[in-house]
Amino acid sequence: MTSTFQRFAGSTAVLAAAVSVIYTITFALYVREDYHWAHWASAIAFMASGLIVVPVFVALHARVREHEPQFAMLALVAGLVGAFGASIHGAFDVAVLAKPVEGKAASFPSQIDPRGFLTFAITGAALGLFGWLSRRNSNLPRALAPVGGVATLLLLVVYFGRMIAVDPNRNFIRFSAVVVGLVIVPAFYALVARSLLGRAKT
């Protein structure tokens, strides 16, 4: 991996951490207070988030593929599928906001990412896999493995909670979503950013 791409991926990891915080806050404001601007902001952040993390997953794959190339490829594929699923889901939300849909169709879940299957479940699996693979790479922070594991667990709770309970205001869904969106996922990307940017400088 070239130093130029390392710096680029490190920078996008910082941005991914920031976008996770922005999305979580604006979505919470929309759900609790029904602010129209927050709905727009969360949808745009959602759409952007998937595209932003693509270089991060590619860089992580380059770092961990030496010891476990097949698992590394599996993590990359899961990460990319989840990322593009999130972007398409966000683009769907933006499209609905720009041209509201009348009737029952307005309440239907996204067909490409129903209840966040790709955004939460598949992306969560990718973070967990990358975290597990990072244990055998001395160039990645040791904390990446437990943080990735916690991210997987909480993202799965959010997905199954949204699928079963639907209402994002349910306490266990809200708590899991806030913790993973404001703390765990930003911490994961911040650790990756520190590693990539530090190595690029070296």
pLDDT of 200 over the 60 cut: no
Residue 148 phi/psi, 5-degree rounding, is: -65, -40
* Nearest of 44, 47, 49 to residue 19 by alpha carbon: 49
When pLDDT is averaged across residues 9-31 and rounded to a whole number, the result is 95
pLDDT of 104 over the 80 cut: no
SS3 98: helix
% the chain with pLDDT above 90? 66
Burial of residue 122 (number of CB atoms within 10 Å: 0-12, 13-18, 19+): buried
Structure tokens at 187: 């911490």
* Nearest of 17, 85, 178, 122 to residue 130 by alpha carbon: 122
* Nearest of 47, 7, 56, 16 to residue 187 by alpha carbon: 16
Q: 25, 201 in Cβ contact below 8 A?
A: no
For residue 162, the model assigns a pLDDT of 81
**pLDDT band of 154, cuts 50, 70, 90:** very high
Q: Which residue type, as a one-letter code, is found at position 67?
A: H
Structure tokens at 184: 């765990």
For residue 86, the model assigns a pLDDT of 93
End-to-end CA distance of the chain: 14
Structure tokens at 66: 């030496």
For residue 202, the model assigns a pLDDT of 52
pLDDT of 106 over the 60 cut: no
Q: 115, 156 in Cβ contact below 8 A?
A: no
When pLDDT is averaged across residues 48-56 and rounded to a whole number, the result is 96
Structure tokens at 116: 């966040």
pLDDT of 32 over the 90 cut: no
**pLDDT band of 14, cuts 50, 70, 90:** very high
How does the average pLDDT of the chain come out, rounded? 89
Q: Which residue type, as a one-letter code, is found at position 46?
A: F
When pLDDT is averaged across residues 27-47 and rounded to a whole number, the result is 91
% the chain with pLDDT above 70? 92
Instruction: Considering only residues 170 and 182, tell me which one the structure prediction assigns the higher pLDDT.
Output: 182
pLDDT of 101 over the 80 cut: no
Model pLDDT for residues 179-199, shown as the tens digit of each residue: 999 999 999 999 999 999 986
When pLDDT is averaged across residues 119-146 and rounded to a whole number, the result is 92
H helix intervals, the chain:
3-33, 36-64, 69-98, 123-134, 144-164, 171-179, 185-201
CA distance 152 to 28: 21
Model pLDDT for residues 55-73, shown as the tens digit of each residue: 999 999 999 998 899 999 9
